[in-house]
């Protein structure tokens, strides 16, 4: 929310908001902050059509609101669900591991190992924080229908403050 508001006031190009958007209310908020559009990742990763492994999808929809943690801040920050591999990364970061060491721990293909191969122990279980609010695996069409309906409801629920910024009712 803060970054979208900051960026949209400082640039003259269209801004696409990403991160933390899984419902129409969040989409409406991003657009109200000046975004020209939104990028939605986690919500579409957790759909019937997604190529993510079924075990990974199930783990995500069972995740609570605090199930993800930002790691790999020296490389490319990402949010991951808790598993033994994430704890190894966290321990390495806590002891001051270099970016090179962290990259070596990741190795080749570990992100695919978790999300697409379903290795819930040693794979990277990368998913957004909004996974904590997702509890189903609908089709992509259903997600789009919900987004549009929730967006419309969010817009309709806002008070009409009129041109002076005061409630006109």
pLDDT (tens digit, 0 to 9) for every residue of the chain, 169 residues total?
A: 899 999 999 999 999 999 999 999 999 999 999 999 999 999 999 999 999 999 999 999 999 889 999 999 888 889 999 999 999 999 999 999 998 999 999 888 888 999 999 999 999 999 999 999 999 999 999 999 999 999 999 999 988 867 766 655 5
On whether both 33 and 97 belong to a single domain, the answer is no
Residue 163 in domain: no
On whether both 20 and 98 belong to a single domain, the answer is no
Count structural domains, the chain.
2
On whether both 76 and 109 belong to a single domain, the answer is yes
Q: What pLDDT is stored for residue 158 in this prediction? A: 87
Residue 42 in domain: yes
R_g (Cα) of the chain, nearest Å? 19
What is the length of the chain? 169
Q: Which residue range is the domain that position 74 belongs to?
A: 49-135
Residue 16 in domain: yes
Residue 164 in domain: no
On whether both 131 and 152 belong to a single domain, the answer is no
Residue 168 in domain: no
Between the alpha carbon of residue 121 and those of residues 15, 106, 115, 126, the distances in Å are 37, 14, 11, 13
Residue 167 in domain: no
CB atoms within 10 A of CB 78: 17
Which of 56, 74, 30, 72 has the alpha carbon at shortest distance from 112? 56
Q: What pLDDT is stored for residue 76 in this prediction? A: 83
On whether both 60 and 114 belong to a single domain, the answer is yes
On whether both 54 and 97 belong to a single domain, the answer is yes
Q: What is the pTM of this model?
A: 0.87
Residue 33 tokens, joined: 């902050």
On whether both 113 and 91 belong to a single domain, the answer is yes
On whether both 44 and 54 belong to a single domain, the answer is no
Q: What pLDDT is stored for residue 55 in this prediction? A: 97
Q: What pLDDT is stored for residue 163 in this prediction? A: 75
Which of 133, 30, 19 has the alpha carbon at shortest distance from 78? 19
On whether both 58 and 108 belong to a single domain, the answer is yes
């Amino acid at each position: 929310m803060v970054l979208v508001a900051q960026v949209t006031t400082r640039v003259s190009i269209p801004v696409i908001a990403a991160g933390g958007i899984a419902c129409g209310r969040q989409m409406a908020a991003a657009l109200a902050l000046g975004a020209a559009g939104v990028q939605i990742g986690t919500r579409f990763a957790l759909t019937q059509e997604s190529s993510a492994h079924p075990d990974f999808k199930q783990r995500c929809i069972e995740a609570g609101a605090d199930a993800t943690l930002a790691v790999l801040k020296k490389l490319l920050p990402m949010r991951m669900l808790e598993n033994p591999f994430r704890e190894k990364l966290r321990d390495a970061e806590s002891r001051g591991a270099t970016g090179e060491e962290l990259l070596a721990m990741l190795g080749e293909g570990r992100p695919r190992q978790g999300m697409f191969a379903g290795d819930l122990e040693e794979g990277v279980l990368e998913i957004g924080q909004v996974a904590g609010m997702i509890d189903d695996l609908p089709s992509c069409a259903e997600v789009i229908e919900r987004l549009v309906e929730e967006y419309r409801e969010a817009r309709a629920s806002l008070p009409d403050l009129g041109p002076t910024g005061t409630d006109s009712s």
